[in-house]
């Protein structure tokens, strides 16, 4: 099997298909991942207490995996555990919680430290926690980064780095990205030098999207972080491939990203802190939730990527993909050169305060 063709024509075709999926996803046939047996496998799902993450966790438990719900709110996490245990017979000893706030470096580090002490191997890591809107009055994290950049990207970058030694040799890392990644905007001249003065605040937001108070529009930060998740999946996979090649071995780990399309979850209730003028995209989504698919439909591609042995997902050279409805699509970052993508990595390392060897 060869790596899928990436071309500008295919990109625009996939973009149109994705837009159609946003509007008509509900009437399309539902993607149904074949059941797998995950007995003995260990999975972590961030943001596993709600919506798509909860549904992915539920399906993984149904398929006999042991699943850790990594959540920022302990009581919500416990409620989610009770829900899963009541839905899946004999699962009480296979659903656990971890405390994790992806917007805080100290929380990410504590979570990773606790995991390392348990000495468990991770087979599946789903980076699902995310938010489309900056909480009122909290544009920046305690570490000084735009809230959405840290929540949606930087926290998972640091967590993956810290947990990498715990990954199994066939581990999969899956990102819940978004169709919004198509709207990700990066300057063609993007380089470490040219972004330097725009780093804080509004990092990675085109300068036109930065508001008078120095913060960037949520819709811009959201789509940029969702595009960065796709870039992260691709770069991480390329690094594993490169390392294996250098060692004369075969890499069997994969990283992939997917869009759930437009899915009815609590996210739209949490997201409305902006006026329609400040964030029209969110208001449009909120006003049209009648078009949204049910949560199992939105989660299906994530479940499939986490469980399938399909060559298109797990085959040699096939990682680093972006998926919708269990079909590979060309993403915005697929049009960027490796050199441009690598600059992201260097920036994320600097922001997370790590050197990822
Ligand atoms: N629904 C859609 O149509 C749609 C479309 C495209 C992409 N997505 C993506 O899908 C993912 C899941 O969203 P959803 O629709 O299922 O919404 P959701 O039900 O609100 O789930 C989001 C999850 O992320 C958690 N979370 C948010 N910020 C966090 C942080 N700083 N640390 C740890 N956890 C955090 C939330 O925790 P709390 O419960 O404590 O808030 C919740 O568990 C997100 O990444 C979202 O961007 C959704």
* 357 assigned to some structural domain: no
CA 262 to each of CA 22, 28, 71, 177: distance values in angstroms, whole numbers, following the listed order = 5, 12, 23, 12
Please choose, from the candidates 21, 15, 340, 44, the residue with its C-alpha nearest in 3D space to the C-alpha of residue 194.
Answer: 340
If one residue of 46, 182, 267 were mutated to test the ligand 1 pocket, choosing by the most ligand atoms within 8 A of its CB, it would be 267
* 222 assigned to some structural domain: yes
The structure tokens listed for 277 are 């003028």
- Residue 271's pLDDT is what? 63
- As averages over each run of 10 residues, the pLDDT of the chain (357 residues) reads 74 96 95 97 98 98 98 98 98 98 98 94 98 84 86 96 98 98 71 39 50 71 93 97 97 98 91 71 85 97 98 97 98 89 85 91
* 167 assigned to some structural domain: yes
DSSP state of 32: -
Q: Give residue-wise pLDDT tens across range 5-20.
A: 678 999 999 999 999 9
- CATH assignment of the domain containing 56: 3.40.50.720
Which residues are known to be catalytic? 222
- Residue 3's pLDDT is what? 59
Kindly write down the DSSP assignment for every residue of 101-122, as one continuous string. -TT-HHHHHHHHHHHHHHT--E
* 46 assigned to some structural domain: yes
Q: Report the distance separating Cα 313 and Cα 18, nearest Å.
A: 20
Number of domains in the chain: 1
Q: How far is the CA of 282 from the centre of ligand 1 (A)?
A: 14
* 2 assigned to some structural domain: no
- Residue 191's pLDDT is what? 40
- Residue 139's pLDDT is what? 81
* 338 assigned to some structural domain: yes
Ligand 1 atom 19: residue of nearest CA: 51
With a Cβ cut-off of 6 Å, ligand 1 is lined by 47, 49-53, 71-73, 76, 100-103, 128-132, 151, 176, 178, 259-260, 262-263, 265-267, 270
DSSP state of 310: -
- Residue 60's pLDDT is what? 98
Domain extent for 87:
8-352
* 1 assigned to some structural domain: no
Q: Give residue-wise pLDDT tens across range 249-275.
A: 999 999 999 999 999 999 988 766 667
Q: Give residue-wise pLDDT tens across range 301-351.
A: 999 999 999 999 999 999 999 999 999 999 999 998 888 888 888 888 888
- Residue 4's pLDDT is what? 62
Q: Which atom of ligand 1 is closest in space to residue 50's alpha carbon?
A: 19
Q: Which atom of ligand 1 is closest in space to residue 266's alpha carbon?
A: 19
CA 252 to each of CA 61, 170, 174, 308, 309: distance values in angstroms, whole numbers, following the listed order = 23, 5, 15, 14, 12
* 3 assigned to some structural domain: no
């Amino acid at each position: 099997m060869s790596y899928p063709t990436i071309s500008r024509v295919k990109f625009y075709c996939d973009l149109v298909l994705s837009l159609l999926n946003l509007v008509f996803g509900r009437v399309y046939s539902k993607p149904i991942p074949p059941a797998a047996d995950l007995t003995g496998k260990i999975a972590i799902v961030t943001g596993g207490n709600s919506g798509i993450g909860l549904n992915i966790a539920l399906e993984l438990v149904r398929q006999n995996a042991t699943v850790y719900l990594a959540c920022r709110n302990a009581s919500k996490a416990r409620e989610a555990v009770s829900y899963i245990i009541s839905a899946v017979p004999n699962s009480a000893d296979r659903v656990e919680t971890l405390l994790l706030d992806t917007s805080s470096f100290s929380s990410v580090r504590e979570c990773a430290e606790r995991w390392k002490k348990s000495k468990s191997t991770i087979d599946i890591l789903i980076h699902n926690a995310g938010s489309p809107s900056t909480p009122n009055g909290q544009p920046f994290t305690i570490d000084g980064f735009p809230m959405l950049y840290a929540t949606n990207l930087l926290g998972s970058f640091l967590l993956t780095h810290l947990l990498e030694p715990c990954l199994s040799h066939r581990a999969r890392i899956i990102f819940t990205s978004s169709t919004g990644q198509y709207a990700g905007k990066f300057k063609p001249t993007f380089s470490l030098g040219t972004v330097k003065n725009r780093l804080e605040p509004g990092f990675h937001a085109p300068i036109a999207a930065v508001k008078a108070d120095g913060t960037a529009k949520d819709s811009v930060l959201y789509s940029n972080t969702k595009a960065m998740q796709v870039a992260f999946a691709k770069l991480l996979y390329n690094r594993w491939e490169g390392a294996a090649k250098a060692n004369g071995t075969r890499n069997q780990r994969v990283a992939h990203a997917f869009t759930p399309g437009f899915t009815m979850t609590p996210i739209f209730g949490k997201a409305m802190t902006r006026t329609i003028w400040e964030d029209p995209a969110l208001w449009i989504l909120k006003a049209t939730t009648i078009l949204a698919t049910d949560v199992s439909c939105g989660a299906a591609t994530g479940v499939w990527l986490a469980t399938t042995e399909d060559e298109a997902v797990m085959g040699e050279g096939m990682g680093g993909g972006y998926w919708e409805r269990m079909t590979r699509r060309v993403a915005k970052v697929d049009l960027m050169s490796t050199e441009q993508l690598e600059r992201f990595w260097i920036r994320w390392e600097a922001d997370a305060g790590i050197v990822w060897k």
